[in-house]
Structure 1
Amino acid sequence: MGATQRIAIVGAGLGGVAAAASLQQAGFEVDLYEQAPQFSRLGAGIHMGPNVLKIFRRQGIEKQVEAMGSHPDFWLSRDQDGEYMSRIPLGDFARKEYGAAYITVHRGDLHALQMTAVKPGSVHFNKHLASLDESGSDVLLKFADGTQARADIVIGADGINSRVREHLLGAEAPTYSGWVGHRALIPAHKLAKYDFNFEDCVKWWSGDRHLMVYYTTAKRDEYYFVSGVPQAEWEGGHASFVDCSREAMFDAFKGYHPSVQALIENAESITKWPLLNRQPLPVWSKGRMVLLGDACHPMKPHMAQGAAMAIEDGAMLARCLMETGLNDYATGFRLYEANRKERASRVQAVSNANTWLRTQEDPSWVFGYELFDHPLKSENAA
């Protein structure tokens, strides 16, 4: 592997940054190009299961992630009246059975910590990808600000509206799934006046909708909810989200337990997001370009594993390119797809079906997964 060989990652979200950390740790030269003008505490809550904490362990940030997050002892599922449908053990059980902790955390806090695992100077902000031009020997990336960069391979970690995916497969808008998600953060002190037990990680379910609720900090001072609710049409046009009134949220969860009503009452501001889908892609790579995460296999957030799959993708891609070197990137890409497609597709299907942990089940196929322990499947296995 020559010192001048470079990898460009388009998109410095959770998946892109994790891929950069894994690849740099493997000895590759990596540059990340992010269209946002600067880093900010974007998003809200996120789950990180043992399958991801084990990757963070290799990147040297596991303990810091554990220190910043909330550690639920259970994933609880309750019906709208409050009756328990499942109690999935996490906490100490997860450490013992799956080899690492299960935490819930603020996405922005996690992202900021992940940035410390990549080499200083390797993230370039305000780089909106305008075009890609693949020659015989490398790829020329042109950005909207007039700058250019060259790389031996390009990794598209740029989400469901990926420009890299568009270059590979042509322009095609994602489809609206017929579902929206409501999101809100609640200062936990606002809930102290209630007699309810606001549990660390609970998903409220009824026939056609749900509300997932959990803490996002170790101090448990910030409580978060995210919904899944059917809605025939998305009213926001091309907007990635719209504001939502408390009244509309109360209407969506009419008849739910009083503790759910208390959450809505105390939400500081509620936003509503369209849940978007893509058909499974015919290819994950072409030429010198390869996709990961939502650019490759977007999924509804109902399983809390979307970011986890992107982080696993990055680690597996690094493992496969270590095996082949950049000179044989084509074999590396085939190996990567052969070793990720089945798992990512299964998680995508379960997530989209919204059945995960609704009833008492064994989640070990997800949480117990040890990415580096599995022998690599042949590149022809995909």
Structure 2
Amino acid sequence: MNDKPTIAVIGAGLGGAAAGALLQQAGYPTKVYEQAPSFSRLGAGIHLGPNVMKVMRRIGIEDKLDAMGSHPDYWFSRNGMTGEYQSRIPLGEYALEHYGASYITVHRGDLHELMVDTLDQDQLFFDKRVTDVDDNGDKVRLTFADGTVEEADLVIGADGVNSQIREKLLGTEAPIYSGWVAHRAIISAEKLKAYNLDFEACVKWWSEDRHMMVYFVTGDEKEYYYVTGVPEPDWNHGTSFVDSSQEEMFEAFKGYHPTVQALIECTESVTKWPLLERNPLPLWHDNRLVLLGDACHPMKPHMAQGAAMAIEDAAMLVRCLEEVGADDYHAAFELYRSNRFERASRVQKVSHDNTWLREEEDPAWVFGYDVFETPLKTPNTANEESPT
């Protein structure tokens, strides 16, 4: 008989899928609820550093990701106008030797599909949007938009920047629009062959107030992806993204290097997304509810570590439940927060400042981290001040 508590994970994004997979592996009766009607291969790229690949190893999909993804030898930073190199951060074999796992770039949808497939499909429920959460002290009662009601002993809010579980803990408060937008596009690499230019596997083009990050999202290098950071004073569209255009991209990157101009010329479809943040939250958990990922620390994507923090959160949360024993979930949740707050807040700050790897620096504090091996800080010794 399984005497472990029943757990509901709200949100089947990357953090929620990681939490669900690791909990089910550890023997917790875990159901995962996702508000989207079905899985879809969303058109975006993602970096998976060695810190994340160690979690993928535990979940059991590291080898598949290694085979699927692109393995850049370097993260290059280049001056957007002149093309001059500002930094060359070694990855490839260096990452394997020094950080203990690969550094890959991959299509986010392909990663997500692999992660979702590791879940018990009988315990994964789509089209489930939470409308009410009642934590009565003994159980948590979840009401969904379709009228169904479910109960669980513990609930993990992995439901993103507009989290219903966060609202239950802290009230309704809109995330902060950062004043920046991200344009996203996937380009067929075949089109780039017409140009006598060097399209590197992982490169960020910088100028004073904007950038374009570019990388392959498949191991066969057939799909090339870019994501930008561009200042835009207001976001009044009322939607999570809107269509952009080649014309808008040419205007945003006027004067940039010919390689960037070629990428824009080859762009068939591009979308524009607001970059949202929150200040470090005073509360990550209360009674039977706990948050992870964008539900408690959304950040700009300028370190390529937002999803990584959600995945690390999931792994640390399960580690703390196992360490303390889920019967004492109050202590487990506080141990989890104490071992994630400082790191997540530091990554939030560096992401906000948009300085990561712009110049030569040592990224070992990010890439060398192992969520399963790092010594646990007890709550009374953890430094919980937000980095300044």
- The TM tier, using the shorter chain, reads over 0.9
Give the structure 1 partner of residue 141 of structure 2: 140
Which shows bigger deviation, 113-122 or 9-18? 113-122
Match of 1:108 in 2: 109
Give distance in 2, aligned partners of 1:311 and 1:364.
18
Q: Which residue of 2 aligns with 1:327?
A: 327
- RMSD between superposed Cα atoms in Å: 1.1
Shift of 1:2: 4.6
1:34/1:126 contact within 8 Å kept? yes
**Which residue in 1 is equivalent to 2:70?**
70
Give me the whole-angstrom Cα distance separating, in 2, the residues matched to 1:76 and 1:282. 36
Amino acid at match of 1:113: L
Q: Distance in 1 between matches of 2:283 and 2:191?
A: 49
User: In the aligned structure 2, how far is the partner of 1:309 from the partner of 1:326?
Assistant: 22
Q: 1:170: which partner in 2? A: 171
Amino acid at match of 1:49: G
For residues 318 and 328 of structure 1, the distance between their equivalents in structure 2, rounded to whole angstroms, comes to 13
* 1:43/1:10 CA distance change after superposition, 3 Å: farther
Matched residue, 1:214: 215
State the AA in 1 paired with 2:57.
R
Q: Which residue number in structure 2 is paired with residue 9 of structure 1?
A: 9
Partner amino acid, structure 2, of 1:184: A
* Misfit runs of 4+, over 2 Å: 1-5, 379-382
TM-score (norm. length: structure 1)? 0.98
- Aligned partner of 1:200 in structure 2 is 201
Do the aligned residues in 2 keep the contact of 1:152 with 1:326 (CA within 8 Å)?
A: no
3-state DSSP of counterpart to 2:138: coil
Structure 2, unaligned runs of 5 or more: none
Distance of 1:146 and 1:234 partners within structure 2: 33
How far apart in 2 are the matches of 1:235 and 1:171? 19
Shift of 1:201: 0.3
Cα distance in 1 for residues equivalent to 2:198 and 2:104: 19
The residue number in structure 2 matching 1:262 is 262
Deviation at 1:42, TM superposition (A): 1.4
- List aligned pairs for 1:81-96, cutoff 5 A: 81-96=82-97
Residue 36 of structure 1: aligned partner:
36
Structure 1 stretch 99-108 or stretch 112-121: which is displaced more?
112-121
Tell me the equivalent position of 2:60: 60
Q: Distance in 2 between matches of 1:26 and 1:379?
A: 24
Q: Which sits farther off after the overlay, 2-11 or 305-314? A: 2-11
Question: Is 1:253 equivalent to 2:253 in the alignment?
Answer: yes
User: Residues 4 and 28 of structure 2 are in contact (CA less than 8 Å); yes or no, is this contact kept in structure 1?
Assistant: no
Aligned length, in residue pairs: 381
Q: Normalization by structure 2: what TM-score?
A: 0.96
Report the 3-state secondary structure (helix = DSSP H, G, I; strand = E; otherwise coil) of the residue aligned with 1:303.
coil
Is 1:284–1:296's contact at 8 Å kept on the other side of the alignment?
yes
> Deviation at 1:332?
0.4
Distance in 1, Cα, partners of 2:313 & 2:129: 23
SS at structure 2 position matched to 1:302: coil
Task: Tell me if structure 1 keeps the 8 A contact 2:241–2:274.
Answer: yes
Q: Which moved more, 1:371-380 or 1:96-105?
A: 371-380
Give the SS at the match of 1:311: helix
Residue 157 of structure 2 is matched in structure 1 by 156
Partner of 2:307: 307
Structure 1 residue 324: Cα displacement: 2.1
1:250-292 CA deviation, whole Å, 9 max, x = no partner?
0100000011001001112011111111121111001110000
Query: Contact 1:47–1:103 (CA<8 Å) still a contact in 2?
Result: yes
CA distance in structure 1 between the partners assigned to 2:215 and 2:5 by the alignment: 43
CA distance, structure 1, for counterparts of residue 299 and residue 171 of structure 2: 20
SS of the residue 1:154 aligns to: strand
Kindly provide the CA deviation profile for residues 175-203 of structure 1, in whole angstroms up to 9, marking residues without a partner as x: 21111111111010000010001000000
Residue 235 of structure 2 aligns with which residue? 234
Q: Does 1:27 align with 2:17?
A: no
2:379 alignment partner AA: E
CA deviations on 1:227-255 (whole Å, 9 max, x unpaired) are 0011111241x211111121111010000
The separation in 1 between residues aligned to 2:226 and 2:7, in whole angstroms, is 37
What's the offset of the Cα at 1:158? Answer: 0.4
For 1:4 and 1:44, the matched residues in 2 are separated by 37
Q: Distance in 1 between matches of 2:244 and 2:116?
A: 32
CA distance in 1, matches of 2:234, 2:130: 30
Measured in 2, the distance between the counterparts of 1:100 and 1:230 equals: 35
Q: Which residue pairs with 2:318 in the alignment?
A: 318
The amino acid of 1:225's aligned partner reads Y
User: What is the CA distance between 1:326 and its match in structure 2?
Assistant: 2.2
Secondary structure in 2 aligned to 1:301? coil
| Amino acid of the structure 2 residue aligned with 1:214 | Y
Select between 1-10 and 346-355 the one with higher mean Cα deviation.
1-10
Native 8 Å contact 1:331 1:379 kept in 2: no
Aligned residues of 2:137 and 2:287 also touching (Cα < 8 A): no
Letter in 1 for 2:152: A
* 1:139-191 deviation per Cα after TM superposition (whole angstroms, max 9, x unaligned): 00010001111111100000000010001000011121111111111010000
